[in-house]
Structures are given as C-alpha cells and as structure tokens.
C-alpha cells in the first residue's frame, strides 16, 4: 500500500499508524509499529503560515525510550547478520517508494515547516539521492586483502557495523536530514534510534511507513520524540555507539561533548555564515539571480544559505539591482502557487530575526530593504519575514557574527579579492562559500586560499552529491567523519583486521585419491 493511496484517503490509514485517531497526536515508532505515547507532556506543532496546530508531539517517557533502545539492540543481532544484498534490496525498494510518494511527503513538509512545495520536493529529492547512493553498498563496504604478507600468511580487513546508532535531526530539512542518517546507518548493518525535530515530525513518520513497506525488519529503525530528555538519553545510553546531529551551535556542541565523554562517535553539523564573493568580471545577471535565490530561498533557513555577500570593487555598483530582484520575490504560504519565500518556522524565530535586523541598524548598517512588516493577505497570523538586505555591514556587527537563519542578506564591501578572502577566513565558520567570476585565475586563487569545507565557483550553494561527502569545517562541524559519501560509510563502520596462517606443509592431500584404499 503506497502513501499516495494512504494519504489520498484523508489519512484514514495514517491516523491508524502515524497519528492518533482520537486526537491529532504524533505517535512513536517502535519495533515496526506506530505506538501512542503514554506521556503527559506534549508539544504543539503549528503550521507556520496559519499558526494553527496541526499535530501534538509527545515527549517520550524514559520507559518508552528504553523500550525503543531494547528493540534496536535486539534487531541488531539479526540485521547485522543479514546478507549485504538483503540490506541493499531494502534500499532499492525504499528508493522507489520515496519517488512514488514525493508529492505527499512535500505536502507534509510544507504544512509543518512552511517551505514552498517546490522547495519541499527538493528537500525530499536530496535525501532520496542518499538512499540511491546506499544502493551501492556492496562496493562501498568492501574490505581489503593482501596475500602472502609472510610465508603462508594473509591479512584482510572487514568493514563491520558498530551496533545501535542514533540520529538527532533539525527542523529545516524534515526529510533530507533523516535520510542523511538512517539509510547509511542501516545499510552498513547498524540499527538506529532516530529523533526528528519536535517541530516537524511528520516527514519522518511517513518515511517510517515507507520503510515498513520496503520490508525493513522491526526494530532496525525506531523513532522517539522529545526535547532535552530525549537528547540526554541518546547521549548517555551506553548501548548507543554513534550519534549523528545537524542543528544549532548550542545543541551541536552540547551533544558532541556529552556523547563524546560517554565514548561515542559524534558527527555534528552546526552553524554557518556562508559568504558569496562577487567580482566585477562576473556574469551580472546570472550572479544576481543566483545570489537572491541562495539568500532568500527556503526563507533563509538553510545551513548552506548564502547569507553574506562580499561585493568586490566595481561589483558594488550592482547592489541596487540586487535589491530590485529581492523586492520582486513573492512572500506567501508555501502551498500557494508562485510563492518564492514562505514563512519562518515559529514566532520566536521571527522575533529573533527581527531583533538581529534591528541590531544591525543600531550598529550603523544601512537597511536598504526591510521585510519585517510584510503582510500576507489571508495569512495574517503566519510567521512571515520578507527579503531583507543590510548593507555596509562590518565584521564586528552582531548581524554578521551571529547566524540569522532567516531571509536576510548582509552585505560587506572589499577593495580586492585578497581582502574578500581575508574576510571569509577570519570568520569562525567554515561550512561553505562561493565566488562569482569569469576569471579562471581568480577562481583558482580563491579555491586554493579559502578556508571553508565546500566551495562553489559560480555555484551559490555547493552542497555535494552523495558520492562525495558534506564537508563543512572549522566552527561549522565537530567530529572526524562527515555525513554521507565515503566518510559517512566510515562513520557508521569499524574495521576488523584478520591475519591468518595456513601452512602449505599442513596440506594432507595434494591430489584426489582414486585407488582402492588398503590397510597400509
């Protein structure tokens, strides 16, 4: 049964599995079943465009979290011994099911997170690409062999799963980030305890429905909900061997330190301040269009949003044209056709964004486009902020030092490329950056000298496809191995090296015995 039919029937089956039939409450997912929580504490999830409650998320009890963990432990014993081709087949089936139900997943994302339907489909697609890469697991998880390291002695390595792993996902990519986590973890033979953001649980729950349909055994992936207690449970449980996290600096540092002290592997993607460097020889029209899309798309709630522009020399004359493009972007509810910029996730987020804009004004920046008072007819209760541009920003301003995470572009100016590179490298973050130029020598200099993990040349959001890895650096990442790609495989596995000796002289028969046996 596909989600197209499931959701097309007004969530009749979904109410039975993912949500309560008695109230709009999200369920836990434990041992292959959707389970109503017995908690007394709930979190309301609001549609950011309307401020209406769309579901209530439980803060899972300690007993429920322990039950989920025990299920993961039990499932690991059998799942890790399944053939690698069996695990591959689950990914093949999951890939097909996600493609079939991409539209329904996107609708749920738009309702809970607010992004446009087109952007929500992109959210699902970029996660789907990780699933597709996991279909190559037989070659990705191969060990190595050296024969005859000594006489009659061979050494080979096995790439083994770790055990129970855990994932803590953010609100801004409800499908993509969980799909960065559990497919890689389980395809390499692990099990996973997954905690989606309590603000956007729906996409993960729909993915669990599809995972069941793909034939994944019960307990291989379990889902709990909550906030601090759930995170602490994941960090402290000795049975959990590795933790994947994407989110804010504060939470990422906390998880890295607490889980690390408990002996766990951690990969922690955190904040960013991604710079776009615009040189005067760049293709003006293409550059300004890409800059506007990368700064204001997804309402700026991307860890790879191009939130900072450094205009170099003559390119500074293009700033009014950028303002003109930003003004033309349509702000509306995400499901409305033609919408360019949807709402931000919450009223608190909107207030924080507005406060950071105001701090820039007070510190001397020029507010050349103000989106704080945008009005969206029919959605007056939504959490909207229109495209906003602060110019003449300096590196000491709060609007520059903090990640705004909204549709706000801050503009700095530089006299030359060396000065622009210096600005980027002095910033503590290193998630991504981009340069816009038609000069190959300038691009090469930028690539070689810039200190950021992901670099675009005339590409505003240089997020690698899954055959590579997401390689943010410096203050944007803590850990040893990055998400997906070869590094993702390494994160979720450990190497067992075997050295074996079989002496040739111990061979008892060098050829088949065909004569009648005698009593010699």
Q: Measure Cα distances from 23 to 44, 192, 399 in Å.
A: 12, 28, 42
Query: DSSP class of residue 299?
Result: G
Phi first, then psi: give them for residue 448, nearest 5 degrees.
Answer: -75, -30
- Tokens 């920003």 belong to which residue? 393
Longest dimension (CA), the chain: 105
Length of the chain: 520
Show Cβ contacts of residue 329 under 8 Å, excluding neighbours closer than 6 positions: 292, 296, 340, 341, 386, 387
DSSP collapsed to 3 states, 494-516: EEEEEEEECCHHHCCCCCCCCCC
Which two three-digit tokens encode residue 94? Answer: 């999951």
Which two three-digit tokens encode residue 433? Answer: 């950056």
Which two three-digit tokens encode residue 414? Answer: 């530089």
Which two three-digit tokens encode residue 262? Answer: 């408990």
Q: Of 457, 400, 441, whose CA–CA distance to 423 is shortest?
A: 400
Residue 134: active-site member: no
Catalytic residue among 134, 216, 235, 303: 303
Question: How many other CB atoms sit within 10 Å of the CB of residue 448?
Answer: 9
- Tokens 């049975």 belong to which residue? 239
DSSP collapsed to 3 states, 222-280: EECCCCHHHHHHHHHCCCEEEEEEECCHHHHHHHHHHHHHCCCEEEEECCCCCEEEECC
- Which residues are known to be catalytic? 303
């Amino acid at each position: 049964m596909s989600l197209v039919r499931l959701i097309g029937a007004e969530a009749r089956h979904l109410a039975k599995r993912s949500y309560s039939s008695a109230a709009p409450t999200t369920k836990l997912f434990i041992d292959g079943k959707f389970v109503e929580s017995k908690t007394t504490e709930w979190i309301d999830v609001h549609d950011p465009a309307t401020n209406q409650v769309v579901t209530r998320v439980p803060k899972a009890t300690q007993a429920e979290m322990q039950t989920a963990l025990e299920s993961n432990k039990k499932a690991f014993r059998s799942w890790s011994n399944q053939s690698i081709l069996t695990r591959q087949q689950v990914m093949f089936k999951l890939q097909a099911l996600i493609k079939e139900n991409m539209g329904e997943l996107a609708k749920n994302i738009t309702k809970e997170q607010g992004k446009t339907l087109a952007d929500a489909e992109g959210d699902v697609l970029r996660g789907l690409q990780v699933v597709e890469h996991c279909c190559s697991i037989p070659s990705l998880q191969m060990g190595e062999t050296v024969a005859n390291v000594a006489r009659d002695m061979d050494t080979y390595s096995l790439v083994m799963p770790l055990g129970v792993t855990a994932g803590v996902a953010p609100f801004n990519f409800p499908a993509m980030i969980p799909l960065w986590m559990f497919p890689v973890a389980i395809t390499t033979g692990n099990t996973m305890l997954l905690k989606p953001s309590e603000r956007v649980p729906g996409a993960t729950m729909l993915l669990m429905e599809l995972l069941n349909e793909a034939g994944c055994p019960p307990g291989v992936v379990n889902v709990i909900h909550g906030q601090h207690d759930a995170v602490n449970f994941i960090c402290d449980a000795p049975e959990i061997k590795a933790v994947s996290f994407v989110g804010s600096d504060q939470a990422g540092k906390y998880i890295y330190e607490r889980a690390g002290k408990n002996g766990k592997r951690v990969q922690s993607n955190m904040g960013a301040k991604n710079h776009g460097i615009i040189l005067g020889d760049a293709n003006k029209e293409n550059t300004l269009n890409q800059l506007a899309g990368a700064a204001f798309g997804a309402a700026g709630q991307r860890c790879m949003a191009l939130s900072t522009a450094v205009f170099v020399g003559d390119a500074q004359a293009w700033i009014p044209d950028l303002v003109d493009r930003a003004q033309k972007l349509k702000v509306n509810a995400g499901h409305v056709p033609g919408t360019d910029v949807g709402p931000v996730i919450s009223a608190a987020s909107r207030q924080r964004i507005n406060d950071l804009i105001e701090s820039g004004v007070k510190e001397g920046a020029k507010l050349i486009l103000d989106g704080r008072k945008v009005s969206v007819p029919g959605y007056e209760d939504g959490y909207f902020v229109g495209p906003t541009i602060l110019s003449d920003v300096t590196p000491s301003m709060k609007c520059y030092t903090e990640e705004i995470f909204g549709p706000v572009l801050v503009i700095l100016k530089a006299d030359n490329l060396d000065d622009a590179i210096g600005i980027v490298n002095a910033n503590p973050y290193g998630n991504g950056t981009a340069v816009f130029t038609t000069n190959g020598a300038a691009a090469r200099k930028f690539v070689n000298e810039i200190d950021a993990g992901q670099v675009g040349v005339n590409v505003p959001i240089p997020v690698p496809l899954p055959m590579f890895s997401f390689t943010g650096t410096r203050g944007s990442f803590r850990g040893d191995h990055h998400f997906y790609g070869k590094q993702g495989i390494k994160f979720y596995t450990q190497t067992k090296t075997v050295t074996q000796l079989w002496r040739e002289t111990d061979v008892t028969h060098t050829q088949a015995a065909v004569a009648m046996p005698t009593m010699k």
